[in-house]
């Protein structure tokens, strides 16, 4: 179960090499137009095996709606969706049955549960994020009907940073790059690491446009806290910044404050959130992904019986998880904002009255 979900409750099921994965999204208001082609198009953006910049595992990621939608509209009941796995090659993974891959969740899952599904990453595999993207697409449909848009793109790969953020370019780019001029160097960094059987990290920049003033609770269940939690819940995310983030700790008050004018804020160092509450400006997040842990170089590790061994991994892995991870960031951000909107309806008497009249 997700940790936001005051109004929207969301949980996923399934393993990387199991039969299927999917989600249940409960709390979606009745009457939302459910555009199935749009949901599929979001899954297509995240699905693996589209290029040399992604894992070679090819999955169609065809999504099927099982419940909660009737005659093209949400019914207000739980929406269940399923995605069948079709390209498991579980025998590739017999060599990780008894050893822990450094950097992956093998060690901790085994010691916590006393067993693990070693077929790929099992439940810890980011294959699960397909289900998040399906749920996120429904949240995005809800937001779209209110004029709110969630966008993202890759700003940085292996320390090579975008100089501009061109969100309308992102879907033309095979690596979802924000800066077409920097993209070639970023692609080269990925392929260069891949050729050396290594991997690289990267940063996704998320932009949420059209959010009204007032989403989020003060002090507890703050909008920035809930968004950060949702991002940190994505596999391989190691840090999240709101607005200027880390840089704001190095700034002066005089340069960090966003001056206020009658028609809005002059700058947006705050990233659209003040006091845990949206201020009406764009919400900006930077989400930092570590390099893919599964690399093909020889590594030191231990077995399940704690014997030290050198081992070399086989299997199909992303050389830079941030690339497909950016689509997952959008989905999680959309779910949080949709949840906050539903919660917000009851935060003022006029909101409640508007809802019931």
Ligand X SMILES: Cc1cc2nc3c(=O)[nH]c(=O)nc-3n(C[C@H](O)[C@H](O)[C@H](O)COP(=O)(O)O)c2cc1C
Ligand Y SMILES: C=C(O[C@@H]1CC(C(=O)O)=C[C@@H](OP(=O)(O)O)[C@H]1O)C(=O)O
46 labelled ligand-binding: yes
Binders in 15-34 for ligand Y, by CB under 6 A = 16
* Nearest partner of 12 among 103, 132, 111, judged by Cα: 132
Least distance between ligand Y and beta carbon 57 (Å): 4
Is 235 annotated as a binding-site member?
Answer: yes
Among 104, 123, 140, 158, binds ligand X (CB under 6 A): 104
Q: Decide: helix, strand or coil at residue 246.
A: helix
Q: Which of residues 101-120 bind ligand Y (CB under 6 A)?
A: 120
Residue 183: which of ligand X, ligand Y, none does it interact with, CB under 5 to 8 A by kind? Answer: none
Among 42, 59, 106, 224, binds ligand Y (CB under 6 A): 59
- Cβ 304 to ligand Y, closest distance in Å? 18
Name the 3-class secondary structure at 207.
strand
Q: What is the dihedral of CA 257, 260, 266, 269, to 10 degrees?
A: 30
324 binds ligand X (CB under 6 A): yes
Please indicate if the annotation marks 291 as binding a ligand. Answer: yes
Nearest by Cα to 16 from 81, 64, 108, 87: 87
- Least separation in angstroms between residue 297's CB and ligand Y is 17
Contact pattern for ligand X over residues 328 through 347, marking x by CB under 6 A: x-------------------
List all residues 6 or more positions away from 117 whose beta carbon is below 8 Å from its beta carbon.
Answer: 15, 17, 18, 123
Instruction: Indicate which of ligand X, ligand Y, none lies near residue 22 (CB less than 5 to 8 Å, by partner kind).
Output: none
Asked if 292 is part of the footprint of ligand X (rule: CB under 6 A), the reply reads: yes
**Cα dihedral angle (219, 220, 221, 225), rounded to 10 degrees?**
60
Q: Which residue from 188, 151, 187 is spatially nearest to 171, judged by alpha carbons?
A: 151
Between 164 and 197, CB nearer to ligand Y:
197
**What is the distance in angstroms between the CA of the first residue and the CA of the last residue of the chain?**
33
Q: Assess 234 for contact with ligand X (CB under 6 A).
A: yes
Sketch the per residue contact string, 314 through 333, with ligand Y: x for CB under 6 A, - otherwise: -xxx----------------
x-or-dash pattern for ligand X, window 181-220, by CB under 6 A? Answer: ----------------------------------------
318 binds ligand X (CB under 6 A): yes
Q: Does 186 bind ligand Y (CB under 6 A)?
A: no
Which of ligand Y, ligand X, none has residue 130 at its interface (CB below 5 to 8 Å by kind)?
Answer: ligand Y
> For residue 239, what are the β-bridge partners?
288
> Running DSSP on this structure, what letter comes out for residue 185?
H
Residue 265: strand pairing partners: 260
212 is in an annotated binding site: no
- Give the residue among 210, 197, 204 at the shortest CA–CA distance from 236: 204
Residues with Cβ within 8 Å of 298's Cβ and at least 6 positions away in sequence, in order, are 310, 311, 312
Instruction: Report d(CA 182, CA 52) in Å as an integer.
Output: 18
Record the tokens describing residue 314, joined without a space.
């086989």
Q: Name which of 27, 51, 30 is nearest 183 in CA terms.
A: 51
Q: Tell whether 125 is in a known binding site.
A: yes
- Quick one: which of 14, 18, 68, 121 contacts ligand X (CB under 6 A)? 121
Q: Which is closer to ligand Y, CB of 48 or CB of 202? A: 48
Residue appearing with tokens 């290594």: 198
Contact between 153 and ligand X per CB under 6 A: no
CA-to-CA separations, 85 to 18, 62, 128, 131, 246, in angstroms, rounded: 7, 9, 11, 12, 39
Asked whether 54 and 44 are in contact (CB, 8 A), the reply is no
Q: Is 325 a residue that touches ligand X (CB under 6 A)?
A: yes
The residues of the shown chain that bind ligand X, judged by CB under 6 A, are 55, 104-105, 121, 124-126, 129, 234-236, 290, 292-294, 317-318, 321, 324-325, 328
Binding residues for FMN, by number, are 123-125, 235-236, 275, 290-294, 316
Binding residues for NADP(+), by number, are 46
The residues of the shown chain that bind ligand Y, judged by CB under 6 A, are 16, 48, 55, 57, 59, 120-121, 125-127, 130, 235, 315-317
């Amino acid at each position: 179960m997700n940790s936001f979900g005051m109004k929207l409750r969301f949980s996923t099921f399934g393993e990387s090499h199991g039969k299927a994965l999917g989600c249940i999204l409960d709390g979606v208001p009745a009457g939302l137009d459910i555009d199935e082609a749009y949901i599929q198009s979001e899954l297509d953006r995240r699905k693996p095996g589209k290029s040399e910049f992604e894992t070679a595992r090819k999955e169609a990621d065809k999504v099927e709606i099982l419940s909660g939608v009737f005659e093209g509209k949400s019914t207000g009941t739980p929406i269940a969706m399923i995605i069948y796995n079709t390209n498991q090659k579980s025998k590739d993974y017999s060599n990780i049955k008894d050893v822990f891959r450094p950097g992956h969740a093998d060690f901790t899952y085994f010691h916590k549960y006393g067993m693990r599904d070693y077929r790929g990453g099992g439940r810890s595999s980011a294959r699960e994020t397909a289900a998040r993207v399906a749920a996120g697409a429904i949240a995005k449909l809800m937001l779209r009907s209110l004029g709110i848009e969630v966008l993202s793109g890759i700003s940085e790969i292996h320390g090579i940073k975008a100089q501009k953020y061109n969100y309308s370019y992102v879907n033309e780019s095979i690596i979802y790059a924000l800066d077409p001029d920097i993209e070639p160097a970023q692609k080269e960094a990925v392929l260069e690491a891949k050729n050396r059987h290594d991997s690289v990290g990267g940063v996704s920049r998320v932009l949420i446009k059209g959010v009204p003033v007032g989403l989020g609770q003060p002090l507890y269940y703050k909008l920035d806290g809930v968004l950060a939690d949702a991002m940190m819940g994505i596999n391989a995310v190691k840090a999240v910044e709101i607005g200027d983030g880390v840089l704001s700790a190095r700034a002066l008050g005089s340069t960090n404050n966003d001056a206020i004018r009658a028609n809005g804020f002059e700058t947006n160092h705050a990233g659209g959130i003040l006091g845990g509450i949206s201020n009406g400006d764009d919400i900006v997040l930077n989400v930092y992904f570590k390099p893919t842990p599964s690399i093909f170089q020889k590594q030191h590790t231990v077995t399940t019986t704690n014997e030290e061994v050198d081992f070399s991994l086989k299997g199909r892995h992303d050389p830079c998880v941030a690339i497909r991870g950016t689509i997952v960031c959008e989905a999680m951000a959309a779910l949080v904002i949709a949840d906050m909107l539903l919660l917000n309806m009851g935060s003022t008497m006029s909101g409640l009255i508007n809802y019931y009249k």
